[in-house]
Amino acid sequence: MKRKAEQLLQVEFICPACGKHLAWALPTAAISCPYCGMWVTDKNRHKPQGEVYLPVDSEQTVLF
């Protein structure tokens, strides 16, 4: 049950090569860094010490 709940939380993708903050997305995402071209996944993304998780429907990630 805990694993299912974690899959619905967004994490911050930070490029491990250049350190740029890319996006908030689900851990299953793969994002191409527009600065250095590296593909960033949950396995290779830079994870800060105090990592924050956001729910999928969080108003903090709504674009306007």
Query: For residue range 22-54, what is the model confidence (pLDDT) as tens digits?
Result: 999 999 999 999 999 999 999 999 998 888 888
Helix (H) or strand (E) holding 3: helix 2-7
CA distance 25 to 58: 11
How far is C-alpha 45 from the chain's CA centre?
8
11 has which bridge partners? 25
Give pTM, 2 decimals.
0.75
Residue 55 has what pLDDT?
82
